[in-house]
Amino acid sequence: MIYYLVIFAAGFAGSFHCIGMCGGFACALGRDPRGAAATAERHLLYNVGRLTTYCFLGALAGALGQVVSSAHSMAVPPLTGSLDAAQRILAIVAGLLMIAMALQFFGLFHGFHRAAIGFGGSTLAMSLRRLLAARSRAAPVAFGVFNGFLPCPLVYAFVAQAGSTAAPLPGFLVMLAFGLGTFPAMLMMGGVGRLLAPAWRQRGVWLAGACILLLGLVTLGRGVLPFAAHDVHAGHAEHASGGGEPG
Amino acid sequence: MTPPEDRSCSHCRLPIGLRAMQRTLDGEARAFCCYGCCIAFQVKIGRPEESNAAWLLIRLGVGAFLSMNVMLISLLLYVDDFSGADAAMLPWIHLLLWLFATPALVILGAPYVRETWAHAMEGRVTSSALVVIGVAAAYAYSIFASFEPGGQVYFDTATMVLMLFTVGNYLEAAGRARAVRDLEPLLAAENESATVLEGEQETRRPVRDIRAGMLIRVRPGERIPVDGVIVEGQSHTDEAVITGESRQVAKSAGHAVIAGSINLDGPLLIQSSGPGTATRWAQICRSVRDALSRRSPTQRLADRVVGISVPLVLILSGLTIVYWGQSLTFDRALLVGLAVLVVACPCAVGLAAPMATSLGIGRLARSGCLVRDPGALEALAGTRLIAFDKTGTLTSGRSRLAGIESEGASHDEALARAAGLERHSEHGLARAILDSAAARGLEPVMTRDVRSLPGCGIRGMVDGQPVAAGNSTLMKELGWPLGPALSQRARVLEASGHSVIYVGWADGVHAVLSLDDVALPEARSTIEALRGLGLHVALLTGDLAHAALRVGAVAGIEDIRPSLSPEAKRAALDRYRQDYEAVAMVGDGLNDGPALAIADVGIAVGSATDLARETAALVLPSGGLWMLPWVISVARMVRRTILTNLMWAFGYNLVALTLAVLGLLQPVLAAAIMASSSILLVVNSLRLSRLPDPVPAPVPGRPQSAEPGSVRSAAGVPLMAGPAIESG
């Protein structure tokens, strides 16, 4: 449980990053002329759409991880039990990916991000613009769904994490936790808008980077170190002390 | 906007095959080659206030929302997360899946059903039918299975297959639209509007309403809509699309501008010099549109394959189900059959050729090279012999002064007197003499009472003395003697194919000017580059042997066939074809029409004729001979892309089909493979649009080549440098 709480926290911290891009979308979605309830509904729908995409990606990544390491087709609960070689490799790959993403948050490794936003990205962005103008009640759902697919290092990092769990259910839960973590900030964006100072946002981004870096290291550790389970708990302790620093 | 071309897709401009979709959008009839284009077109073109495009995306998004939820739950089902105590939940979960899946199928599947229905009405079975049948089977079975204890449901398969196909189509269409971006300016000519200035008022009018004399304002960054003359303003223009000239050209009041060129940096006011539909640009646009809607032989073959494969796939899938039904449970066998249906959808095969061809056409068009028949590109790539016409192709087609022989006067004096006469003449050779005099800095001698004597020459008076320039007959008539040395030289020059002009004044002939049509400076490097591409080069000309040999020697061509009548040219091409299979003929499009038409690929350089009556399949801009090696490389690249595309599409299909028949492929995975195969194909073809610009080949040993632009734009005229004359 604590594992998912960490991810929720990371998602929450990471959502300060989201405010930069997706927050803009949330703002653009704006207020509904039909009143506060309708506005809330709009933003809730949007976020549910986004969450669905995340969860789907998570479950898919988990299932993929399972296929990769399906020498033992039993789902291995995350962070406990013995890990076979394939799962170790998976953990190493996911861990490295997450670390690469985390470094990006500190302004390193920008090429990676640019590579991710290619041909698909611009088509997606164009589609998103179209949807913003739509007045239909279903539009926010569709908008959220597409939004979820926008190239975003934060999402990729957690999808990698979900993949390393090597089963659909935990993968789904990882992304659910992450997605829910981004809820408060994103919902807030719909209402309070741009009240948050840029300095605070920067701190949030760093915090998110730190969280992801930590999770990446833990995941990597699961693959590299022989006594994985113990290491994770040590990692949590580290996180508790390390998380306070940038904030 | 004009009504759409009935044979090419409104969105991606590819020819519409058997999979056409007809829609009426914004009150206009539109045709699309596929569903993806239909979506992408509406998303891209539809005005923001119109909910049509957004509505499509909403459907896609909501469809995705529903099918992702279905997939999520199903993933959990597959790994038995609902076993043991939770098993009691199963019927409810099935119900939930059904509730999610049904609207998703309605939302996403409707277009496919409509398309299948429309085609069925016409008695055709197309690939959309495969999707519809497959998805419907999975859905119907799942409904029955939900009522049975222990039954497996496949709602996720049904929704995900549809979802992947739709998204795949959409992304593919978006990629293709990007591919034809090169062609956009060429396709828009007549739909373009121009800002017409009437009095103080500016109005936007379609180009086809522009008449001669109208004043048109062109802002920086805009395309100049009509041919005309600048009345006001200063700017640079980019005329690459029309002339192949990639340099910027400085323009100011009084300069002529060409329709289709881009006004780069300053506002211009232009007076139109003709109707907007009569410009070369408009002709090019019509021609490109024509070419795009034609199908190359490869394309026809691919279409036939696609046409027969759909029923075959249906049969194969049925057989697969029957076969696996013997050893597996019915639902498993059904799934295997579904995978076969989905994976064998031959979308990529139909896309392989037109995608690459239109990209190639677009790439060439961007540099001013016009392809009139998509098949020509493929033929050009396979050509092993290129035959050239001489005049106007390897040579400038305009004579230049090759040498001066004088007696009792200096070269310059003779030339200055000749120029004084010829400035009153419109004869083709006159231009050469004037240019040559200007190049040497000579002032033409003031001449009065100039009279042109058709067929003989020209005469006049300078300071009370008669002066004349013309042929030997004229000199004889005037009774002017010709010195033995001069007369000997003149005979030799005439025998070697030069045109000779005698210049006389006072009481005798004092000089002989020899003119000829010499090879273009870029001819040699072009021929060398062509050889480097492994092509045999020949010269077929109607001119005398001497002239042909001289040009051949300069250009570096060994295989020379002089004195050929048009019929003999055709016969020569036929003979070549026996040895070289496919032959290309390069001409100026004026005198060699029949030869260009009979060659496998007719290439016209700087065709002056009306494009609509042009017989050549490929038209290079005037002075564009140097581009030929590049054009051939592009053609080869196009063919290579078509081949890799086809190999990829067929190979992919065959491997995936085998796996599917063997029951090793999940239907959802099959759909993902199918969707990605088309997208990969698009990406592979997109490499074509990134081909580099043509680089003018260096002209070794010639200082003129230091400035490539001048070589091209000059078409030989300012190249009449002094040394050539002295050596002659």
Q: Which residues contact B690 (CB under 8 A, 6 or more apart)?
A: none
**What is the band of B53 on the pLDDT scale with cuts at 50, 70, 90?**
low
Rounded to a whole number of angstroms, the distance from the CA of B104 to the nearest CA of chain A is: 13
CA distance B285 to B8: 14
Task: Tell me the chain A residues in contact with residue B175 when contact means C-beta distances shorter than 8 Å.
Answer: 119
> Distance from B12 to chain A by nearest Cα, in Å?
15
Supply B646's token pair.
Answer: 């086809």
Rank B35-44, B366-375, B390-399 by mean pLDDT and report only the highest.
B366-375
Asked whether B503 and B414 are in contact (CB, 8 A), the reply is yes
Tell me how far CA of residue B517 lies from CA of B185, B589, B596, in angstroms. Answer: 37, 18, 22
Give the helix/strand (H/E) hosting B474. Answer: helix B472-478
The whole-number mean pLDDT for each consecutive block of 10 residues of chain A, a chain of 247 residues, reads: 76 65 61 70 84 88 78 46 64 79 64 46 63 72 80 76 82 86 71 53 68 78 61 40 35
Q: Which of A53, A55, A131 sits opposite B57 (nearest CB)?
A: A131
Residue in the structure block whose two tokens are 């995978």: B339
CA quadruple B266, B272, B273, B275: dihedral sign: positive
Looking at CATH, the fold of the domain delimited by B192-281 is given as 2.70.150
Using CA atoms, how far apart are residues A89 and A83, in angstroms rounded to an integer?
10
Q: Residue B124 pLDDT > 70, yes or no?
A: yes
Between CA B474 and CA B459 the distance in angstroms is 9
Q: What is the DSSP string of B230-285?
A: EEE-EEEEE-HHHH---SEEEEETT-EE-TT-EE-SS-EEEEE-S-GGGSHHHHHH
pLDDT at A237: 39
Reported as a single tens digit per residue, the pLDDT across B598-656 is 888 888 887 655 665 667 888 888 778 888 999 999 999 999 999 998 888 888 888 88
Rounded mean pLDDT of B155-160? 86
For chain B, what are the domain ranges?
192-281, 370-396+519-620, 400-516
With CB atoms and an 8 Å threshold, state whether A142 touches B61.
yes
How many CA atoms, within 13 angstroms, populate the side-chain half-sphere of residue B467? 26
Higher pLDDT pick, B727 / A16: A16
Interatomic CA distance for residues B467 and B426, integer angstroms: 18
The catalytic residue among B182, B389, B516, B600 is B389
Superfamily of domain B400-516: Calcium-transporting ATPase, cytoplasmic domain N (3.40.1110.10)
pLDDT given for residue B346 in this prediction: 72
State how far the Cα of A101 lies from the Cα of A154, in Å rounded to an integer. Answer: 7
Please indicate whether residue B389 is annotated as part of the active site: yes
Phi, psi of B519, deg, nearest 5? -65, 145
* Top-confidence range, B22-26, B126-130, B251-255: B251-255
CB distance from B240 to chain A under 8 Å?
no
Helix B330-343 with B667-686: angle, nearest 10 deg: 10
Count other C-beta atoms under 10 Å from residue B256's C-beta. Answer: 11
Check if the beta carbon of residue B684 is closer than 8 Å to that of residue B644.
yes
What mean pLDDT, rounded, does chain B reach?
78
pLDDT given for residue B624 in this prediction: 81
The interface pTM score, or ipTM, of the predicted complex is 0.72
Asked whether residue B135 carries a pLDDT value surpassing 60, the answer given is yes
DSSP per-residue codes, B110-132: HHHHHHHHHHHHTT---HHHHHH
For chain A, say whether B237 makes contact (Cβ under 8 Å). no
Query: Any CB–CB contact under 8 A between B81 and chain A?
Result: yes
Contact B489, B478 (CB under 8 A): no
Cα B376 to Cα B600: distance, rounded to the nearest angstrom: 8
Q: Give residue limits of the domains in chain A.
A: 2-75+83-244
Question: What is the model's pLDDT at position B437?
Answer: 87
- Rounded alpha-carbon distances, angstroms, from residue B145 to B139, B140, B150, B156: 10, 9, 8, 14
Backbone φ and ψ for B458, nearest 5 degrees, come out as -150, 145
Long-range contacts at B447-451 (CB < 8 A, ≥ 24 apart): B447/B417, B447/B420, B447/B421, B450/B421, B450/B424
Give yes or no for a contact between B1 and B7, defined as CB atoms under 8 angstroms apart. Answer: no
Please indicate whether, in this complex, the C-beta atoms of A52 and B69 are within 8 angstroms of each other: yes
For residues A210 and A99, what is the distance between their CA atoms, to the nearest angstrom? 10
- Type of residue at B593: G
Q: Is the pLDDT of residue B6 over 50?
A: no
pLDDT of residue B719: 32
**Mean pLDDT lowest among A112-116, B21-25, B491-495:** A112-116
User: In Å, how far is A47's CA from the nearest CA of chain B?
Assistant: 12
pLDDT for residue B129 = 84
Distances (CA, A) of A81 to A77, A229, B632: 7, 8, 64
Q: Amino acid identity of B336?
A: V
Q: What is the pLDDT of residue B631?
A: 92
Backbone angles phi, psi at B256, to 5 degrees: -85, 145
Please give the average per-residue pLDDT across B450-478, as a whole number. Answer: 84
Q: For testing the chain A interface, which of B39, B49, B75, B684 should be mutated: the one with the most A CBs within 10 Å?
A: B75
Provide CATH code, domain B370-396+519-620.
3.40.50.1000
Q: Which amino acid makes up residue A231?
A: D
CA distance B481 to A178: 106
pLDDT at B663 over 50: yes
Chain A residues with beta carbon closer than 8 angstroms to that of B72: 52, 55-56, 59, 172
- Which pLDDT score, from 0 to 100, does residue B36 have? 63
Q: How far apart are CA A174 and CA A176, in angstroms?
A: 5
Residue A116's pLDDT is 45
Cα of first residue to Cα of last residue in chain B, in angstroms, is 59
Q: Rounded CA gap, B558 and B279, in Å?
A: 40
Element (H, E) at B661: helix B628-661
| Residue from A25, A56, A76, A129 to probe the interface with B (highest B Cβ count within 10 Å) | A56
- What pLDDT, on the 0 to 100 scale, is given for residue B34? 63
The predicted-structure confidence for B298-346, as pLDDT tens digits, reads as follows 878 887 887 788 888 889 888 988 998 888 888 888 888 888 888 877 7
Q: Which of A120, A123, A143 is closest, CB to CB, to B61?
A: A143
Q: What is the pTM for the complete model shown?
A: 0.70
Q: What is the residue whose two structure tokens read 């000997």? A: B488
C-alpha distances in Å from residue B652, one per residue of B119, B353, B367, B663: 26, 16, 35, 16
Q: Are A127 and B42 spatial neighbours (Cβ–Cβ below 8 Å)?
A: no
Chain A with chain B: Cβ pairs closer than 8 A? 103
Supply φ then ψ for residue B230, to 5 degrees. Answer: -70, 130
What gap in Å lies between CA B370 and CA B376, rounded to an integer? 11
Are B138 and B161 in contact by the 8 Å Cβ rule? The answer is yes
Cα torsion B645, B651, B652, B656 to 10°: value is 170
Lowest pLDDT segment from A71-80, B136-145, B617-626, B703-712: B703-712
Looking at chain B, the whole-number percentage of residues with pLDDT higher than 70 is 81
**pLDDT for the residue numbered A121:** 52
Q: What is the SS3 assignment for B366?
A: helix
B228-232/B268-272 β-pairing: antiparallel
For B201-252, the pLDDT digits (tens) are: 888 888 878 888 888 888 888 888 888 899 888 888 888 777 776 677 888 8
Other CB atoms within a 10 A radius of the CB of residue A37 amount to 9
Q: Best mutation site among B41, B56, B65 for testing chain A: the one with the most A CBs within 10 Å?
A: B65
Split at pLDDT 50, 70, 90, the class of B672 is confident
CB A89 within 8 A of CB A14: no
- Distance, CA of B147 to CA of A16 (rounded, Å): 47
Q: What is the mean pLDDT of residues B375-403?
A: 82
pLDDT at B713: 35
Strands (DSSP E) contained in B498-631 are: 499-505, 508-516, 536-540, 559-561, 583-587, 601-605, 618-620
User: Do the Cβ atoms of B611 and B604 come closer than 8 Å?
Assistant: no
Dist CA B282 CA B288 (whole Å): 10
Handedness of CA A76, A81, A84, A89 (dihedral sign): positive
- pLDDT in the model for residue B633: 92
Choice among B211-225, B245-259, B362-376, B689-703 with the minimum mean pLDDT: B689-703
Structure tokens, B127: 């690939």
From CA A69, how far away is CA A89, in angstroms rounded?
Answer: 9
The percent of residues above 90 in pLDDT, for chain B, comes to 4
Give the closest residue to A177 by CA, choosing from A82, A33, A59, A21. A59
H-run or E-run covering B174: helix B155-179
Q: For residue B225, what is the enclosing H or E element? A: none
> pLDDT-derived band of residue B71, with 50, 70 and 90 as boundaries?
confident
Q: What does the alpha-carbon distance between residue B515 and residue B493 come to, in Å, rounded to a whole number?
A: 9
DSSP B490-534: HHHHHHTT-EEEEEEETTEEEEEEEEE-PBPTTHHHHHHHHHHTT
For residue B42, name the pLDDT band (cuts at 50, 70, 90).
Answer: low
